């Protein structure tokens, strides 16, 4: 075989290998696009505020026009300060309230959304009552940190029917509602997806200030 012929054949072989490699890359690139990923459906709870019915659906079917979803994740606040309680959080509470009423337990939100001005006043009052900001923070958090002004915290039945609230403590996780502090039987937040397990309670709100310093998340 002449030298020129060998070089020619090698060049052809190289070209064919290059084409095969390009086809392989193109195929591997197009497969995920042509078969776009569809996540498997997750369980979804839908609440009808008119007939007060709670129904189980899934994320592929969704809720009907007359229903509201309880959501499929913990409820966290955004960057912009709200002027009312988080809507999905309210739907969760309404669904729990109806379920509790069927068993004879009455649940009412006695303090939900608070403006930062109201929270600041409550904190100042608590500092006077308990003698220091540290002691006060076991019961009331400063306006920038408390989740009440973010619309993601509620006080239930305080200072009234504690027994009904015990039902909520034991069953709230079905609706995505959790008691947060050992020293506040009345304070609940939507920190889980409905049906998940609530996290262990913190001793008091001051502990959440400690968590803030390490994880930069807001509590209470
Ligand atoms: Zn509270």
Same domain, 128 and 27: no
Question: Alpha-carbon dihedral of residues 115, 117, 118, 120, nearest 10 degrees?
Answer: 120
Q: Which domain holds residue 22?
A: 1-37
Q: In angstroms, what CA-CA distances link 209 with 26, 67, 78, 203?
A: 52, 37, 19, 12
Same domain, 24 and 119: no
Whether 5 is covered by a domain: the verdict is yes
Radius of gyration, alpha carbons of the chain: 28
Neighbouring residues of the ion ligand 1, judged by CB less than 5 Å: 155, 187
Whether 45 is covered by a domain: the verdict is no
| Cα–Cα distance measured from residue 158 to residue 161, given in angstroms and rounded to the nearest whole number | 7
Distance 186 CA to ligand 1 centre (A): 7
Same domain, 24 and 107: no
Whether 48 is covered by a domain: the verdict is no
Distance 185 CA to ligand 1 centre (A): 9
In tens digits, what is the pLDDT along the chain, a chain of 220 residues?
555 666 555 565 556 555 555 555 555 555 555 578 888 999 999 999 999 999 999 999 999 999 999 999 999 999 999 999 999 999 999 999 999 999 999 999 999 999 999 999 999 999 999 999 999 999 999 999 999 999 999 999 999 999 999 999 999 999 999 999 999 999 999 999 999 999 999 999 999 887 666 554 444 5
Same domain, 112 and 207: yes
Distance 96 CA to ligand 1 centre (A): 18
Same domain, 83 and 31: no
Quick one: which of 11, 79, 71, 5 has its CA closest to 43?
71
- Count up the domains in the chain and report the number: 2
Same domain, 93 and 32: no
| 208: Cα within 13 Å, side-chain hemisphere | 23
Same domain, 32 and 72: no
Whether 43 is covered by a domain: the verdict is no
Distance 140 CA to ligand 1 centre (A): 8
DSSP string, 16-27: HHHHHHHHHHHH
Whether 44 is covered by a domain: the verdict is no
pTM recorded for the entire structure? 0.80
Query: Does residue 43 sit in helix, strand or coil?
Result: strand
Distance 99 CA to ligand 1 centre (A): 22
Whether 172 is covered by a domain: the verdict is yes
Whether 197 is covered by a domain: the verdict is yes
Same domain, 89 and 195: yes
Q: Is the dihedral of CA 188, 99, 91, 158 positive or negative?
A: negative
| Cα–Cα distance measured from residue 216 to residue 196, given in angstroms and rounded to the nearest whole number | 23
**What is the H or E stretch that residue 14 is in?**
helix 3-34
Same domain, 3 and 94: no
| Cα–Cα distance measured from residue 147 to residue 81, given in angstroms and rounded to the nearest whole number | 11
Distance 106 CA to ligand 1 centre (A): 18
Alpha helices in 60-144, H assignment, sequence order? 87-102, 116-130, 133-136
């Amino acid at each position: 075989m002449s030298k020129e012929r060998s070089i020619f054949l090698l060049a052809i072989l190289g070209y064919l290998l290059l084409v095969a490699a390009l086809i392989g890359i193109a195929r591997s690139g197009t497969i995920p696009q042509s078969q776009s990923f569809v996540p498997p459906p997750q369980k979804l709870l839908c609440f009808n505020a008119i007939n007060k019915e709670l129904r189980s659906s899934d994320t592929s079917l969704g809720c009907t026009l007359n229903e509201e979803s309880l959501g499929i994740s913990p409820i966290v606040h955004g960057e912009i300060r709200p002027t009312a309680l988080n809507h999905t959080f309210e739907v969760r509470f309404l669904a729990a309230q109806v379920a509790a009423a069927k068993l004879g337990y009455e649940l009412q939100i006695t303090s939900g959304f608070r403006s930062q001005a109201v929270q600041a006043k409550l904190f100042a009052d608590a500092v006077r009552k308990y003698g220091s900001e540290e002691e006060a923070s076991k019961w009331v958090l400063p306006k920038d940190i408390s989740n009440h002004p973010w619309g993601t915290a509620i006080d239930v039945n305080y200072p009234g029917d504690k027994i009904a609230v015990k039902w909520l403590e034991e069953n709230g996780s079905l609706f995505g509602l959790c008691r947060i502090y050992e020293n506040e039987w009345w304070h609940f937040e939507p920190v889980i997806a409905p049906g998940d397990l609530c996290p262990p309670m913190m001793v008091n709100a001051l502990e959440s200030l400690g968590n803030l310093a390490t994880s930069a998340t807001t509590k209470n």
